Amino acid sequence: MPLDVAFWLLAVVGVAAALAVVMLRDVFRAALSLVLCFITVAGLYITLSADFLAAVQILVYVGAISILLILGIMLTRDIQHGNPANKLRIPAVAAALVFLGTVCFAVFNTPWQISAVAPLEPTTTELAGKLFGENGYILSVEIAAVLLLAAILGAIVLVREK
């Protein structure tokens, strides 16, 4: 029962964060809302006993993609003006509502089979063992991350105004 409460709490926060990404005019705050949305998705994976997916979600999306987006926003000029108004806002809302209706129709008309038995084996896969294990490749991933960080810092130094 506590997992159900945690799942629905994370789901509500995730949807609110996703709506904030779309609705906020301040690009930096929208990026921070995107980080919150990624974190809640990782929490949803944890409540669904998908530990490896949660770890990958944190490492890849929260740790890499979000930082890259925020760094790109910080390097952008005229960020104070926010997102410009778009002429296609009404057709986009209509398309989103049609998509929402289609998804709701599919969800409510599908006979979902729910297992009463919890999984017997842990959800971490052999890939996680190979990646993070004793003879894994995590060192090469960390070296690649340091090289990317050095490249980004070098790009900042090159484009910096004198």
In tens, the pLDDT along 102-137 reads 999 999 999 988 878 876 666 566 666 666 666 667
Of 71, 70, 75, 68, nearest in space to 160 by CA: 75
pLDDT at 44 over 80: yes
- Model confidence at 43, pLDDT cuts 50, 70, 90, reads very high
The answer for residues whose C-beta is within 8 angstroms of residue 7's C-beta and 6 or more apart is 44, 47, 48
Q: What is the pLDDT of residue 98?
A: 97
Q: What is the pLDDT of residue 95?
A: 94
- The domain segmentation of the chain, as residue ranges, is 1-82, 124-162
pLDDT at 76 over 90: no
Q: Give the best-scoring range by mean pLDDT among 48-62, 63-77, 120-134.
A: 48-62
Query: What is the share, in percent, of the chain residues with pLDDT greater than 90?
Result: 27
Q: What is the pLDDT of residue 18?
A: 93
Q: What is the pLDDT of residue 134?
A: 64
For 9-39, the pLDDT digits (tens) are 999 999 999 999 888 877 878 888 999 999 9
The answer for residues whose C-beta is within 8 angstroms of residue 92's C-beta and 6 or more apart is 86
**Topology of domain 1-82, CATH:** Four Helix Bundle (Hemerythrin (Met), subunit A) (1.20.120)
List, as one string, the DSSP characters of 90-115: HHHHHHHHHHHHHHHHHHHTS-----
Q: What is the pLDDT of residue 131?
A: 64
